[in-house]
Amino acid sequence: MNILAVGCHPDDLEIGCAGTLAKYAKEGHNVFMCHVANGNMGHTVIMPDELRKIRVKEAQEAGKVIGAKEVFSLDVPDLKVNSYDEDTVMKLIEVIRYVKPDVIITHGPGDYMKDHVETGKMVFDASFSSSIPHTYTRSPHYPGKVPIYYMDTLAGVNFLPEEYVDISTTIEIKLNALNCHQSQVKWMYEHDGIDFLDFVRTVSKFRGLQCGVQYAEGFRRCVTWPRLTTKRLLP
């Protein structure tokens, strides 16, 4: 299968679904990662232009750790993600058509900030628009009925999973990928006193406790016609 994970900022996918993506990759599936925002505002000392470059590099390194075939960036500045921005939507349509995903993972409608929610809305709309032949991009149109799974919220707040993925064998890959984002891991420790690697491990362990394994990631389905299926698409 081809798996497309679309996160808002570099590191969002590592937090929410990297264990699952690594498991897909280990099973021989093709994993693609896409970041809508460039993360340029995620620091109090490093200036936006410099941080943008740093975070692009960090995302590429994290993708290698996970086993992703490609990592895309739509390069939208932080706080500017808008699901109605035609240029960005067209870029995402091209990514979807290029990847030809069998399943898409992204942010759900109950996430904690506007950029994340707008990313999820954009994925929903772009994945449908990718099926319209007269919407022109480099790649040809692709069916718009791809199942979408929403990944966990930060700290699992207000998110009750419908499906779980056992990531006990990939938890260290998940954390190693997250650790590639040193501009954020270091900044959160120094600025907020948060050990983010421990934070993410704890959430994964909590999800594991819910479903009877050591570590897990939780997901909810996008329940709309015609995106539902009888197949188990998560690994």
> Is the overall model pTM greater than 0.95, yes or no?
yes
Q: Specify the pLDDT at position 29.
A: 98
Res 81: pLDDT: 98
Average pLDDT of the residues in 171-189: 96
Beta-strand relationship, 163-166 and 216-221: antiparallel
Q: Is the pLDDT score of 204 beyond 90?
A: yes
- Lookup result for tokens 């067209």: 90
216 DSSP 8-state letter: E
User: Would you say domain 2-221 falls under CATH 3.40.50.10320?
Assistant: yes
pLDDT tens, residue by residue, 107-128: 999 999 999 999 999 999 999 9
Give mean pLDDT, residues 77-92. Answer: 97
pLDDT at 71 over 90: yes
Q: What is the pLDDT of residues 125-177, one digit of tens each?
A: 999 999 999 998 999 988 889 999 999 999 999 999 999 999 999 999 999 99
Residue 232 to residue 235: CA distance in whole angstroms: 8
Percent of the chain exceeding pLDDT 70 equals 100
Tokens 């032949």 belong to residue: 133
pLDDT for position 45:
87
